[in-house]
Amino acid sequence: MLVKMSLSIKTLVGIGLTSLRHNFKLQRFCSCRQLSSSSFRKFSSSKESGGTGSKKGEEVGEEDVNKIFEESKHEIKGQPRVFSGIQPTGEIHLGNYFGAIRQWVRFQDEKKAGKYEQCIYSVVDLHAITIPQDRDVLEKNIFQAVATLLACGIDPNESILFLQSHVPLHPQLSWVLGCLSTMPQLGRLPNFRDKSKKLKEVPLGLYTYPVLQAADILLYNATHVPVGEDNVQQIQFAQLLAQRFNRIHGRTFNIPKIMLEGGMWCRLRSLRKPENKMSKSEPDAKSRIGLTDSPDEIVEKIKKSVTDFTSAVTYDPETRPGVSNLIMIHSLCSGQSAEEICNSVQDLDTGKYKFVVAEAVVEHLRPIRTKMIELMKEPAYLLDILKIGTEKAITLSEPVWNDVCFKVGISPSHSWLSKSRPDSNDSHVEQQSGIKSASL
């Protein structure tokens, strides 16, 4: 007698999350070198077989991702959605604020005007542990990241704000996409190449990081992904995986469009080494201005910033990167153009000009810092915000995941046993009937 099985999404998520959490813990302590022995040494080439619209053995490892987007952009399912994430590693600094967070607020405003259906923002804590972290520091950084986003203008009523690890479908989709990825492709990506050079033993999580990043984006069928220049190749890899899955299993994912930000805010440099960008990973804390820095700390850091031996204040990023960096910071904080600033401080040398810049930064960050300090005193409120965002994220992602499961063949609740399948993902805004969101 045939017994019909009916597994709830809660049961599936519980089972999957338990095993995947275990796998993620193992990945932190497994090195790529340990997993590169025996049969892994002879990994497959970038040739694949089969799939909808593909020929057996066709080359797919070097697809032109820009062509992929051009061919697929007219096929966008549903309304445009923006997805972006921020890692809770180190203090959020001025470069993060102008280069990412303030742009997120702009997208949120455009969403209110009807340009986007959703703005989805995640604190990507699973990405943070690709490199070992102190658990107390990481926990504090997570709360601080949420408080920072709220203080800078992210409205949880307008945008979806959540913690990546609270939505178990992220690592689950990452596994499915990982089975479509090849080792040569992952090994060529800059994030792995650059960071692995500094490590004696390379964690597996660092190697598979781009697959999880692709899952973050595709799980919500995002259509637009804002990134800096150093992340373009990772998003191109997500485009490639979306196209590959679509070709093999049928139209499922949108091909996300790269929104490459090219304004002045993307070029903020280190205060100590202006040839490098301002970065969380720079060991010298004086190289960056943190959003939680006190006024005295800001003045001291700008006072100690590296410039050159020319006393005049002129804007020339190529030959005078240090002074030009200060002018860019001043411009972003004051709203003045670089030309207007240079004309207004003709009587000042660079030493005195640094105090003008410091004052502009202090005043610009004062309300943000005050709000952040208030929010950090209310961790229960921050958790409530994350809980609401998680519920919205799960509701949005479940239809996509159910469609993936059915097409791959891992959907016991929608199988030939019940002669049913999830609704078509042609409109990913519509929710699946009869499936409830997993409990937090």
- Residue 192 CA to residue 198 CA, distance in Å, equals 10
Q: Are 186 and 211 in contact (CB under 8 A)?
A: yes
**Residue in 318, 319, 317, 360 with CA at minimum distance from that of residue 336:** 360
Question: Which residue in the block uniquely carries the two structure tokens 């959003």?
Answer: 291
User: Is residue 194 classed exposed, middle or buried when 0-12, 13-18 and 19+ CB atoms within 10 A define those classes?
Assistant: exposed
Write the CA distances from 200 to 28, 32, 170, integer angstroms: 14, 11, 29
Indicate the length of the chain as a whole number.
440
Q: Which of 77, 257, 277, 392 is catalytic?
A: 277
Task: State the first-to-last Cα distance of the chain, in angstroms, to the nearest integer.
Answer: 36
Q: Are 1 and 428 in contact (CB under 8 A)?
A: no
Dihedrals phi, psi of 290, to nearest 5 degrees: -80, 150
Cα-trace Rg, the chain: 24
**Which tokens hold the place of 14?**
């519980």
- Secondary structure class of 356 (helix, strand, coil): helix
Write the CA distances from 144 to 218, 377, 383, integer angstroms: 27, 10, 12
Write the CA distances from 131 to 28, 31, 278, 384, integer angstroms: 8, 11, 20, 28
Residue 280 annotated among the catalytic residues of the structure: yes
DSSP 222: -
Q: Which of 280, 286, 303, 387 is catalytic?
A: 280
Q: Are 417 and 28 in contact (CB under 8 A)?
A: no
- Secondary structure class of 276 (helix, strand, coil): coil
**Residue in 227, 196, 197 with CA at minimum distance from that of residue 213:** 227
Residue 277 annotated among the catalytic residues of the structure: yes
Do β-strands 118-123 and 224-227 pair in parallel, antiparallel, or remain unpaired? Answer: unpaired
Q: Which of 115, 195, 286, 387 is catalytic?
A: 195
Residue 67 annotated among the catalytic residues of the structure: no
Side-chain-side CA neighbours of 358 within 13 Å: the count stands at 20
- Residue 431 CA to residue 127 CA, distance in Å, equals 28
- Secondary structure class of 277 (helix, strand, coil): strand
Residues acting as catalytic residues:
195, 277, 280
